[in-house]
Amino acid sequence: MPPAKIKPMSKTYSIKSGCKINLYLKILDKRRDGYHNLDSIFYPLSRPGDYIDVILVPGSGISLRACPKSLEKSSNILLNTYKLFAAATGFRPGLKVYLSKNIPVGAGLGGGSSNAASFLLFLNSLNRATALTREKLFELASELGADVPFFIYNRPARVTGKGEIVSPVHIGLHGLHLLVICPEVSIDTARAYQAHDQKTRDSRPPGDSVLTTGPLTDNRSPFERIILSNCFEKTVFAEYPGLGSIKTQMLQAGASGCVLSGSGSSLCAFFRERKYLSQACHTLDRQNVSFYYSRIN
């Protein structure tokens, strides 16, 4: 998948910011800096996606308007991205920024991280005289958040370290139907990690969830088996049993695999046959659960 698209219209720019899902996620240990070492497979998607509209104005500095309005706060990652880029380059253009948020917050889809990476790339494209190298952009992205470096790359990747080590992989999911399921539940990432750490201390380190399904196989993939697995599932499903119930329903409807994305609350269900996909969609519709459909080409 190519990087976020930037469409100039005079001095107005429209930036599309996608999301990611985790096909595999295992937390290895907690680092001294407070982050966690992880081993994960990230897969980028264009839907659901956010829109960032930017107007160049005289002077310097940035103003932000957002929908929903609750995102208009000083801690918004777009404002932090502007400040970090300005400190690194001295480039401080006058910008009016409008964020239209479609990626659910607290869903494990990396919406905020994607916004930051897309905006960072945009600022670098404006700063032609002293544009930063890709390596420097990765460095700044890592300062903004653990998932931000992946969105600079924005292709299927194995992500390790705290998220700053991004290695390209080929994942053969050709021809599969995908539902990104977004229940109206927002999960705080920090709390999810705390619950995972507590569970790890209280028992043996959690392995694959008992609800995690077996391999997805594609003859064109270099991986003989693609295991959908997320170590957050045990703790998240214990606190939010409705999410575990949705996963079970997807498997019963005929999904070839279903897995929690990130620390939740979204789930990703893969289908080989359209008839099973239709059954799953009807099941979700009856419960008024939002979802996004993609055909993986």
- Distance separating alpha carbons of residues 267 and 216, to the nearest angstrom: 16
CA distance 276 to 272: 8
Q: What percent of the chain has pLDDT over 70?
A: 88
Token pair recorded at residue 253: 């409807």
Predicted confidence band of residue 208 (pLDDT cuts 50, 70, 90): very low
Annotation marks residue 30 as catalytic: no
Local confidence band at 226 (pLDDT 50, 70, 90 cut-offs):
low
Write down all domains in the chain, each with its CATH number in brackets. 6-168 (3.30.230.10), 177-295 (3.30.70.890)
The answer on whether 264 is annotated among ligand-binding residues is no
Residue 109 known to bind ligand? yes
Q: Judge whether 94 is annotated as a binding position.
A: no
Output the six-digit token pair for 47: 């839907």
Average pLDDT, the chain: 90
What does the pLDDT look like over 86-102, one tens digit per residue? Answer: 999 999 999 999 999 99
- Residue 112 annotated as part of some ligand binding site: yes
Residues making up the chain, counted from first to last = 297
pTM of the model: 0.88
Annotated ligand binding at 244? The verdict is: no
Q: DSSP string of the chain?
A: -PPPPEEEETTEEEEEEEEEEEEEEEEEEE-TTS-EEEEEEEEEEEEEEEEEEEEEESSSEEEEEEESGGG-STT-HHHHHHHHHHHHH----EEEEEEE--SPTTSSS-HHHHHHHHHHHHHHHH--TTPPPHHHHHHHHHHH-TTHHHHHH-SSEEEEETTTEEEE-----TT-EEEEEE-S----HHHHHHHHHHHHHHSSPP-S-TT---EE--TTSS-S-EE-EETTHHHHHHH-HHHHHHHHHHHHHT-SEEEE-TTSS-EEEEESSHHHHHHHHHHHHHTT-EEEEEE--
Q: Which candidate in 5, 11, 16, 20 is catalytic?
A: 20
- Active site (annotated) includes residue 26: no
pLDDT band of residue 203 (cuts 50, 70, 90) is low
145 is in an annotated binding site: no
Q: What is the mean pLDDT of residues 234-240?
A: 96
The reply to whether omega before 48 is within 30° of 0 (cis) is yes
* Catalytic annotation, pick one of 101, 147, 162, 234: 147
**pLDDT at residue 257 tops 50:** yes
